[in-house]
Amino acid sequence: MNIFKTKTELSSFLTELRKKNKTIGFVPTMGALHDGHISLTKQSASQTDYTVVSIFVNPTQFNDPKDLEKYPRTIDKDIEKLKQAGVSIVFLPNVTEIYPKKDSRIFDFGNIDKVMEGKHRQGHFNGVAQVVSILFEIVIPNKAFFGLKDFQQYVIVKELVKKYMADSNIEIIGCKIIREPNGLAMSSRNELLSSQERENASIINSTLQKAKTLTGEKSVDEIKNFVIQKINQNKFLKVEYFDIVDDTKLEQIKTWEEKSQKVGCIAVFCGSVRLIDNIYF
C-alpha cells in the first residue's frame, strides 16, 4: 500500500499513472471507515484502474467545534480495512497540507445549499466544497464516488464540478446507501451510539419505508406529519427536519402529481448524535 502525506508526493505518483493512460477513481472520506466506504472503493475499483482514498477530517465543514472534536478517529483500523479491500493508494494529509493558508472562498450554489442540511448546519457545504475542490485539484480523478446517504452533498458536489471545475471533466458517481442489518444507514457517527440507541435508530428507515407505501392514500403533507410523529414517538429520537424535495433543485414537493423524482430527506437526533437518511418516493 502506498500511503502519502503530502500533495506533492501523491501528485507525482499519480502523474506517472496518468502518463501510462491509467484511469483514477477517488473516494474522499473523513475516516472511521465502515462497509459503506468499502463499497465505494469496490465501485471505484470496478470502474477505474487505480483507486485513491483520502482520509481527512475537514475542519471547515464543522459548524460546531464540539462535533469536530468528538468525530470518531480510527486511523489504524481504517488502514487495515483499506488493505483488506485491496486499496493501494491512500492520502493522509494534515490540516496545513490542505489549508496552508485560510481558505476564504465562498461558493454560490443558489438554493441547493440553503435548504435541509444547509439550513441547519450553516457553512457546512461551503466547507465541503472547499475541501472537495482542493482534493480534486490534487488527485485529478476521472471519477469520484460519493455515498447517497449524504444525498444533498452528492447534488452539491455535482454542481461544484459543473459550475466551478467544468474543465476537469470529473464524473461524480452516487452510490447506493449501505445499511446495517436492522436497516440503519451506515455512518461513521453510528460509532457514537449505544447499542440501545443503535437499535432504536432503525425506526428511521422502517418509517421511511412505511411512508413510501402510503403515497397512494396520503398527501405530501400527511406523509410528512406521519413520518415526523412516528419517529418522535420513540423516546430516543427527535426529528430535526423531514423534507420531500425534487432530486436536482431540492425544491419542496407539494403534490405527488409533480413529475420530478422525489426524495424524502431526514435528519434525526438520537441522543446527541445527529443521523441523516433519505428515501426515493
Is residue 41 at the binding interface for ligand PAF, with CB under 6 A as the rule?
A: no
**Catalytic-residue membership of 120:** no
SS3 207: helix
Q: Does 175 help bind ligand PAF (rule: CB under 6 A)?
A: no
Pairwise CA distance, residues 194 & 197, whole Å:
5
CA angle (43 as vertex; 41, 152 as ends), nearest 5? 85
- Minimum distance from residue 157 beta carbon to ligand PAF (Å): 7
Residue type, 246: D
Nearer to ligand PAF, 50 or 145 (CB): 145
CA diameter of the chain: 58
Least distance in Å: CB of 235 to ligand PAF? 29
Q: Give me 199's grid cell.
A: 437499535
Closer CB to ligand PAF, 156 or 266, in the complex? 156
Q: Which is nearer to ligand PAF, 44 or 61 (CB)?
A: 61
Check if the beta carbon of residue 237 is closer than 8 Å to that of residue 269.
yes
- Other C-beta atoms within 10 Å of 179: how many? 16
Q: Given the complex with ligand PAF, which of 28 and 118 has the nearer CB atom?
A: 28
The grid cell for 70 is 468528538
Residues 95-154 that bind ligand PAF (CB under 6 A): 128, 131-132, 150, 153
Could you say which of 34, 37, 120, 124 is catalytic? 37
Q: Distance between CA atoms of 92 and 30, rounded to whole angstroms?
A: 10
Report the DSSP beta bridge partners of residue 92: none
Q: How far is the CB of 128 from ligand PAF (least distance, A)?
A: 5
What is the rounded (10 degree) CA torsion for 158, 163, 169, 170? -30
CB 32 within 8 A of CB 188: yes
Whole-number minimum distance, CB 224 to ligand PAF, in Å?
A: 26
Residues 151 to 170: which contact ligand PAF by CB under 6 A? 153
Q: Which range, of 6-14, 23-31, 68-76, 201-209, touches ligand PAF by CB under 6 A?
A: 23-31
CB-wise, 61 or 200, nearer to ligand PAF? 61
Of 30 and 177, which has the nearer Cβ to ligand PAF?
30
Q: Does 28 bind ligand PAF (CB under 6 A)?
A: yes
**CB of 232: closest distance to ligand PAF in angstroms?**
27
| Residues in Cβ contact with 83 at an 8 Å cutoff, skipping those fewer than 6 apart | 1
Of 7, 24, 26, 29, the residue at the interface with ligand PAF (CB under 6 A) is 29
Smallest Cα–Cα separation from 78: which of 143, 145, 133, 1?
1
Closest approach of ligand PAF to the CB of residue 88, in Å: 19
Residue 84 corresponds to which amino acid? Q
Residues between 42 and 61 with contacts to ligand PAF, criterion CB under 6 A = 58, 61
Active-site residue numbers? 37
Summarize as ranges the residues that interact with ligand PAF (CB under 6 A).
28-30, 58, 61, 128, 131-132, 150, 153
